[in-house]
Each structure stands twice: as C-alpha cells, then as structure tokens.
Structure 1
Amino acid sequence: MRDRLIRLLRHCWLDEDDARRALGPVALERIEQRVRASEAAHSGEIRVCVEAGLPLGYLWRNVDAHDRALSLFGKLRVWDTEHNNGVLIYLLLADHRIEIVADRGLTRHVDAAGWQAIVDGMGAAFRERRFEDGLHAAIDAVDAVLREHFPAAPGGGNPNELPDTPVLR
C-alpha cells in the first residue's frame, strides 16, 4: 500500500511541463528531424512519446508502463500503417521506464530480446538524464531494424503515414 501511495504521489507531482523540461523545443525539433530522415529510408513509421506521469485513472488501476505504452500504441494509431510496421518508443519519466512496442509486421522479424537490447541501450543515457541522446540512440536502432526488414522501394513513393513530431503528455 505504501509503495502504491508513493507511486501515486510521484505521478501526480509530474506533468507535461516536466516532459517539456526534459526535452526542450530544440531537442524536440531534432528528434522530429531524426524520425523524418529515418522514415525516408524505409516504409516503417516511428512514433516517440514522452509522458511525465500516468493519468489518475491508470494509476488507480495500477497500470504499468508496458500496458500504458500498449494503450498509446492504439491511441496514436501506430498500428495503422500499410505494412503493419509501426514502432512506438515510449518513455515514462515518473517510473523511469522505457518501452518499445512494435506492430505485428516487425514482431515476425524481431523478438522481445531484440527490442529489450534497444531499451537497455537507452537506459544508460536516461539514467544520466540525457533523454535526447537516449531517444536518438533508440531511433537509430529502430531505424536499422526497419531498413533491414522494410527498406524503401527504389524510386517508389514512401508516404508519411503518421506524424513525426514527438508526443509529450
């Protein structure tokens, strides 16, 4: 009970302004540019979401970062790509958690251990509060996976199916 109360307070203490402080406007622009450049080389879609704390209803139900990332995967329509190759990179500041959720087109090629390796690579940067560096590393790692399994068709069009702008909550 005590741990749950501490978690509740930690999440209620943080808000979207904390996410904006963790990643300022210049960093957000660089992340957006990196996603856009990545998506020019493959048919996948990358979404980045940084959430300071969970909404009260999620806390009440004791939802963890993974379940929240799955929920946002749907809400942000990351699943809604032509080749089922969208990826959500999710950072929950209050719990110090990182989640990567990939659509079914990618899970055929990359198992949970492969995604966990990317998360582990981000962890060191996040522990040092270098959020932009960690997100750049994650985008680059996801980019490599998407280039390998879903390269852009030579000379073909590559529509941008989802916004490239990071989501702050």
Structure 2
Amino acid sequence: MKRGLARIWAHLACDARDVRRLFPDESLRRIEQAVSEGERGHCAEIRIAIEASLPWHRVARGVMPRERALEVFSELRVWDTEANNGVLVYLMVADQAIEIVADRAALAALGAPELQQVCDRLGEGLGAGRGEQGLLDAIARLNQDLAEAFPLVSPETDENELPNRPAIL
C-alpha cells in the first residue's frame, strides 16, 4: 500500500468519477441483483460499500482501509442484524483495498481465513480490470457460504434487513 505523500495524492486524485468508471449504473444493478438473489437462499445479510477516497486530512492522520471499513460497518448498520450475521464488503478505490467485515455470528460461522480468500480473489479480479465480475464472484461465494451457515428456514418470515444496492460513499 502507498505511504505518506503518495497515498495522500492518490486520495486527492480519486473521486466519484473513478467509482462510476469501475462500476457504472448497469454494473451496480447487476451487483444489487446478485445480492438480492443470493439472500433468498439464506437468512444472513450482505452489504456492499464502495468508496472513492478519504479526505486528505484523514489519510495524513493514518486512517487505513480496515479502520474505515469498521466505521462503514457501523454507519451502514451492518452490525444491527437480528442474528448478528451481517457481512460488509468494502472497497476503497484510492488505496485499491478490499476489506470484509463480518458480524459475530457470520465471522464465527465463516472464519477469517475464508473471508480472506474471498478478499484475495476479489483483489485479483479488480487488479485484472474485472471489478464487476470479481465482485459478483465474491458475492456468489459469500452467498454459498452463508447459505450453508445460515440456511433459510422460511422465505415468508425472512426479512431483508439491509439494502441490497451497493452504497457509494
């Protein structure tokens, strides 16, 4: 990861247009659809957040992607699912960073190594210029794992607790 002035410059140079180039509206619709369809197979929640950059003063103070992902986990209330099984997939475009933050039950069921594998594969997709496909693959993998860990008992009683549309921050 970039350090110091190079990192500050990367954050100053990156904005919402960069996010839109990586994930245009049609791409965001397909990602939303993948989350929606996948959640029909389990009672957990997946939330996607994509952020272009941080203000320069936060970068200068050393705020790293993991710290920001934890803030977003709270801000988007991913922690507030009834069964504590929410999962946040966070992308920081300026740092080219991916973080997955899982609530207690989801982390216990999936395990940190599995979540790291999903991050690594998503990173490979983003690095190869296949951001949308990488994210769709990550969502599919998470949905598969969550369906095994949190099977849907009854579709009638399952409530969609979090929005499925990716949050662009």
TM-score normalised by L of structure 2: 0.94
Q: Is the 8 A contact 1:88 1:101 kept in 2?
A: yes
User: Counterpart of 1:94?
Assistant: 94
After TM superposition, the structure 1 = structure 2 runs for residues 11-90 of structure 1, keeping only pairs within 5 Å, are 11-90=11-90
Matches within 5 A, 1:126-145: 126-145=126-145
Q: CA deviation at 1:66?
A: 0.8
Quote the sequence identity (%). Answer: 42
Asked whether the equivalents of residues 51 and 93 of structure 2 are also in contact (C-alpha less than 8 Å), the reply is yes
Distance 2:55 2:36 in 1: 29
Shift of 1:93: 1.1
Structure 2 distance, partners of 1:149, 1:44, is: 9
Amino acid at match of 2:16: E
**TM superposition score normalised by structure 1:** 0.94
- Structure 2: gaps of 5 or more residues: none
1:53-94 per-residue CA deviation (whole Å, 9 max, x = no partner) reads 123342132111111111100000000101000000011111
Matched residues, number: 168
Could you list the runs of 5+ residues in structure 1 that have no partner in the other structure? none
| SS of residue matched to 1:109 | helix
Over the aligned positions, Cα root-mean-square deviation in angstroms equals: 1.4
- Segments of 4+ moved more than 4 angstroms: none
**Equivalent residue, structure 1, for 2:120:** 120
Separation in structure 2 between the aligned mates of residue 117 and residue 136 of structure 1, nearest angstrom: 15
CA-to-partner distance for each residue in 1:143-168, whole Å, 9 max, x for gaps?
01110111111354211101111011
Q: Which whole-Å CA distance do the structure 1 matches of 2:3 and 2:71 have between them?
A: 24
